[in-house]
Amino acid sequence: MFIKQITVFIENRAGRLEQVTQVLKENNINIVSLSLADTSDYGLLRLIVSNPDKAVTVLKESGFSAMITNVIAVKLTQHVGKLGELLSILSSAGVNVEYMYGLTTGDENASIVIKTGDQKKALDAITESSFELLSTEETYAMND
Partner 1 sequence: MIWNEARECMSRDELNTLQSARLKKVVNRVYHNVEPYRKRMQEAGLELGDITNIEDITKLPFTTKDDLRDNYPFGLFAVPLSEIVRIHASSGTTGKATVVGYTRKDIDVWAECVARCCAMAGLGRNDIIQVAYGYGLFTGGLGGHYGAEHLGATVVPMSTGNTQKLIDMMVDFGATGLMCTPSYLMHIAEVIEEKGLKDKIKLKATLNGAEPWTENMRKQIEERLGIEAHDIYGLSEIMGPGVATDCHYHSGLHIFEDHFFPEIVDPKTLEPVPDGETGELVITTLTKEGIPLIRYRTKDLTSITHEKCECGRTTARISRFTGRSDDMLIIRGVNVFPSQIETALLTVDGITPNYQIIVDRVNHQDTLAILVEVEERFFSDEIKELETLQKKIEHAVHQTIGLHAKIKLVEPKTIERSMGKAVRVIDKRKLV
Closer to partner 1 by CB, 88 or 99: give it.
Answer: 99
Candidates 63-71, 72-80, 85-93, 127-135: pick the segment binding partner 1 (CB under 8 A): 63-71
Asked if 96 interacts with partner 1 (CB under 8 A), we say no
The residue within the footprint of partner 1, chosen from 24, 34, 49, 64 (CB under 8 A), is 64
**Exposure b/e, 40-77, CB count within 10 A at least 16 = b:** eeebebbbbbbbbeebbebbeeeebebeeeebbbbbbe
What residues numbered 34-53 form the site for partner 1, per CB under 8 A? Answer: 37, 39, 41-42, 44, 46
Cβ proximity to partner 1, 10 vs 110, nearer residue: 10
User: Does 85 contact partner 1 by CB under 8 A?
Assistant: no
